[in-house]
Chains A and B, each alone.
Chain A
Amino acid sequence: MPLSAAELSRYHRHLSLPELGRGGQERLKNARVVVVGAGGLGSPAALYLAAAGVGTLGLVDCDRVELSNLQRQVLFDSAVVGRVKTEAARERLLALNPEIIVVAHTLTLLAENVLDILRGYDVVLDGTDRLTTRYLVNDACVLLGKPLVSAAIHRFEGHAMTYLPGRGACYRCLFPKAEEGVVASCAEAGVLGVLPGVLGAIQATEAIKIITGIGEPLVGRLLTYDALELRFAEFPFARRADCAVCGEHPTITAPMRPESCDSADLSSVHRLTASALRDRLASDPGRAALALIDVREPQEFETCHLAGARNIPVAELVRRLGELTDGCTPVFLCRSGRRSLTACALAIRAGIEAPAHLEGGLLAWAAEVDPTFEVASG
């Protein structure tokens, strides 16, 4: 579809670039890009893609805007706190560029729906904050033959990579497997607000290059960014012949969730509220029945911890499970309740029948039981 007079004016600076020009701008107009996760990464990526004139922009997210999002999720402002993210984002993007179409997919991406959602797009941007979804999106892109631009962030560090079907390695070639909880999330560990701005803009850049066919995509190279040192680096990685999804004998032939605490049977876990744990501890002052295991990182533990708690970071738990077999019920603790649930899954797999965890984590403890308890940001 040709560009209108208004579009010729709007995209004048693109049209002035001979590498992109009118043909490239028309390709952008005819392109369909989906952004998975309207969060820190998805916000700048979607804004720049909308501004650049990508004709159809899909947004996948099931959350509502929270006040704590605004430190980095620049799609949103204070007036839309509490609203569904995809709908608030759609209004913001159309205000920026009414020439485009924005499709709101207000849902959780699952093995059952991922192919149907992604099938309708030319390029996929992954900015999710869940590892399970990250693998799900990668696998779907490989199965559908869709280009994928993936990025991830943690504290002051970010990664980005691009997968092009038939041209290079996929995310699973880079990291064949990772478990939720063992790899800390931003909610647990914190993140510099401007960091996803850098990585999200890189994702948008890659999408524009793929659509217009200019430049050299970030294929087979992991780009790393350290904001504290303001240092970019890149590391080559190759397609793995034994990759479970894009290798020579793939075992993943349909979308599936990778092994994680989500897939473990957690029905035997005792989920203690903060006040229930307080009561249990009061009735067991000698800790004859309960063993408090704090699975946070050592520096979080040092900031503040419950009396009598022992620190075993969740990533060390499998190796140190022997320390738990003293007849006590282990009660796993962490900041928010996410890592402690992973710890329960690991314990159950190791044969500990009924572990317990603190629902809502030490944040809930501080809110409900002890307001003087200082919960480290991770």
Chain B
Amino acid sequence: MSCTVRIPSPLRSYTAGAGMVAADGGTVEEVLASLERRFSGIRFRMVDEQSRIRPHIRLYVNTGEVTALSQPVVTGDIVHVICALSGG
């Protein structure tokens, strides 16, 4: 399965500034692993050592919130990574 991942502004330093990147995988976990292979270190910014989504990060597949990394992803889906912002 191939999908698109929207990268939030604070993590674009890993993707050379790209806001949309392609990734592969049949689950959110596999999509994150695919991202990690291309952009080393980015997965850990989203999930912790116990594979829990970090509390300042939210993941959505299209507009549905991801509550488990085993959630399926199908071709054409957009995985949105949303990161808390602090600026005012």
* Cβ distance B41 to chain A, nearest Cβ, rounded Å: 6
Given A157-B85, A319-B44, decide whether A178 and B19 contact each other with a Cβ distance below 8 A: no
Binary B-proximity of A118-142 (CB < 8 A = 1, otherwise 0): 0000000011111100100000000
Let me know if A235 and B14 touch, CB within 8 A.
no
Q: How large is the interface on A (under 10, 10 to 19, 20 to 34, 35 or more residues)?
A: 35 or more
A224 to B83, CA, bound (A): 11
* Cβ distance B64 to chain A, nearest Cβ, rounded Å: 8
Binary A-proximity of B40-53 (CB < 8 A = 1, otherwise 0): 01001100010000
A135 to B17, CA, bound (A): 29
Let me know if A233 and B80 touch, CB within 8 A.
yes
A156 to B83, CA, bound (A): 13
Given A155-B9, A236-B63, decide whether A177 and B56 contact each other with a Cβ distance below 8 A: yes
Let me know if A235 and B87 touch, CB within 8 A.
no
Let me know if B45 and A178 touch, CB within 8 A.
no
Q: State the majority secondary structure of interface residues on A.
A: mixed
A294 at the interface (CB under 8 A from B): no
Let me know if B55 and A177 touch, CB within 8 A.
yes
Task: Kindly list chain B residues whose C-beta atoms are within 8 Å of the C-beta of A134.
Answer: 86
Let me know if A153 and B85 touch, CB within 8 A.
yes
Let me know if B10 and A189 touch, CB within 8 A.
yes
Task: Kindly list chain B residues whose C-beta atoms are within 8 Å of the C-beta of A41.
Answer: 88
Let me know if A183 and B49 touch, CB within 8 A.
no
Identity of the chain B residue whose Cβ is nearest the Cβ of A171 in the assembled complex:
B84
A206 at the interface (CB under 8 A from B): no
Let me know if B88 and A37 touch, CB within 8 A.
yes
Task: Kindly list chain B residues whose C-beta atoms are within 8 Å of the C-beta of A184.
Answer: 10, 86
Given A177-B56, A235-B58, decide whether A129 and B86 contact each other with a Cβ distance below 8 A: yes
Give the contact stretch, choosing among A4-12, A46-54, A297-305, A366-374: A297-305
Task: Kindly list chain B residues whose C-beta atoms are within 8 Å of the C-beta of A99.
Answer: none
Identity of the chain A residue whose Cβ is nearest the Cβ of B45 in the assembled complex:
A315
Let me know if A319 and B49 touch, CB within 8 A.
yes
Identity of the chain A residue whose Cβ is nearest the Cβ of B60 in the assembled complex:
A235
* Cβ distance B84 to chain A, nearest Cβ, rounded Å: 4
Given A178-B55, A316-B45, decide whether A152 and B19 contact each other with a Cβ distance below 8 A: no
Let me know if A183 and B10 touch, CB within 8 A.
yes
Count of A-B residue pairs with CB < 8 Å:
108
* Cβ distance B2 to chain A, nearest Cβ, rounded Å: 21
* Cβ distance A169 to chain B, nearest Cβ, rounded Å: 12
B71 at the interface (CB under 8 A from A): no
Task: Kindly list chain A residues whose C-beta atoms are within 8 Å of the C-beta of B55.
Answer: 175-178
A330 at the interface (CB under 8 A from B): no
A37 to B45, CA, bound (A): 28
- CB contacts under 8 Å to B, within A206-247, are 222, 224, 226, 228-229, 233-237
A197 to B72, CA, bound (A): 38
Let me know if A222 and B82 touch, CB within 8 A.
yes
A129 to B86, CA, bound (A): 6
Let me know if A128 and B19 touch, CB within 8 A.
no
* Cβ distance B75 to chain A, nearest Cβ, rounded Å: 21
Let me know if A183 and B65 touch, CB within 8 A.
no
Let me know if A186 and B13 touch, CB within 8 A.
no
A94 to B8, CA, bound (A): 38
Task: Kindly list chain B residues whose C-beta atoms are within 8 Å of the C-beta of A175.
Answer: 55-56, 58, 84
Given A40-B88, A42-B88, A129-B88, decide whether A183 and B13 contact each other with a Cβ distance below 8 A: no
Looking at B10, B16, B65, B80, which has the most chain A CB atoms within 10 Å of its CB?
A: B10
Task: Kindly list chain A residues whose C-beta atoms are within 8 Å of the C-beta of B88.
Answer: 37, 39-42, 126-130, 151-153, 186, 196
7 example contacts (A-B, Cβ-Cβ < 8 A) are as follows A153-B85, A154-B87, A155-B9, A174-B58, A174-B84, A222-B82, A319-B49
Give the top 4 A-B pairs by smallest Cβ distance, nearest first.
A186-B87, A178-B56, A297-B13, A129-B88
Known: A127-B88, A179-B56. 14 other contacts (CB 8 A): A41-B88, A126-B88, A129-B88, A131-B84, A152-B88, A156-B9, A174-B58, A183-B85, A186-B86, A186-B87, A234-B63, A235-B58, A315-B44, A316-B41
